[in-house]
Amino acid sequence: MVTTEANNRELLLLFFEPDEKPDPAKKEAFLKTFRFGQMPKTTKITLDKMLLIQVKYIRKTSWLAALVLILAAAQITRGKPDSVLQIATLTPLLAFVTEIETRRSYAYGMAELEMTTPFSLRSIRYARFILLGLFDLAVLAGLALLIRKHAAMSAMLTLAFLLLPFLLTMTCALLLERTAFGRNHSYGSGVLALFIAAGTECLLLPDSPLAIPIMVQGTGWMLELTAAFLLAAVITLFWTNVKREEEMTAEWN
């Protein structure tokens, strides 16, 4: 019995005895290696590999949103060709799904962890933005070619008309990201998307006092120019938002 108590006492002393501190000589070099994803060049991931990696991690709902838009367009063109431009009211939903997917790291609190990976958080957001942005543009371009004969407009004007509510939603959502409310409520852009969709619907109703005569001769260039301006605004805002978030996270750390 005495032997057992002595052994237990010895084990407890060993357990609570402070261990030798690790050598701090290489601490700074180690931290610099992992800070903001600055890994050695041998572990850098190229753009094509990054895009392939992110294709696997983008949620299926992001791709399905575009499929829903395509199915709705096919149904409208078959059932009510005169109402084909109503498809534009669905594009804010596509923009919302795209925007929320690019900032999923922040929504799930994974931003700081992803900043220590071989590829930085900035490259992750860029890759998702490129993939989903090009995919959405391809879908909308395809829809423009599909419905232009029913809308009695050129393909470019039809594409601009579909892009306007989409890009307006993206612009407002990216501006919302810059506010404290937007950072704490990641789905706030969904409310914006609903308002913009409702506004687009009001503008398309023929009996609405807010209806815009978009078919008037000579006004198409204004829509195309506005769409180009909003596209440039979305790209600029996205770039500045990512840079700002990365700087804020680094400063906080």
Answer for the pair 152, 215: CB distance below 8 angstroms, yes or no: yes
pLDDT for residue 232 is more than 90: yes
Instruction: Give the residue ranges of DSSP H helices in 91-120.
Output: 91-102, 104-107, 111-114
Q: In this predicted structure, what is the pLDDT of residue 172? A: 94
Q: What percent of the chain has pLDDT over 70?
A: 63
This prediction's pTM = 0.72
Q: Residue 112: pLDDT band by 50, 70, 90 thresholds? A: very low
Mean pLDDT over residues 25-33, rounded?
61
**Among 5-19, 66-80, 130-144, the range of highest mean pLDDT:** 130-144
pLDDT for residue 181 is more than 80: yes
What does the alpha-carbon distance between residue 70 and residue 102 come to, in Å, rounded to a whole number? Answer: 22
b/e for 147-186, b at 16 or more Cβ within 10 A? bbebbebeebbbbbbbbbbbbbbbbbbbebbeeeebbeeb
Q: In this predicted structure, what is the pLDDT of residue 149? A: 76
Q: In this predicted structure, what is the pLDDT of residue 34? A: 55
Q: What mean pLDDT value characterizes the chain?
A: 75
Among 164, 59, 50, residue whose Cα is nearest residue 117 = 50
Mean pLDDT over residues 40-46, rounded?
55
Q: In this predicted structure, what is the pLDDT of residue 182? A: 79
pLDDT for residue 231 is more than 90: yes
- How many CB atoms are closer than 10 A to CB 128? 23
Q: Residue 233: pLDDT band by 50, 70, 90 thresholds? A: very high
Compare 231 and 105 and report the one with higher pLDDT: 231
What does the alpha-carbon distance between residue 103 and residue 236 come to, in Å, rounded to a whole number? Answer: 16
pLDDT for residue 139 is more than 50: yes
What does the alpha-carbon distance between residue 180 and residue 230 come to, in Å, rounded to a whole number? Answer: 24
Compare 69 and 253 and report the one with higher pLDDT: 69
What does the alpha-carbon distance between residue 204 and residue 176 come to, in Å, rounded to a whole number? Answer: 26
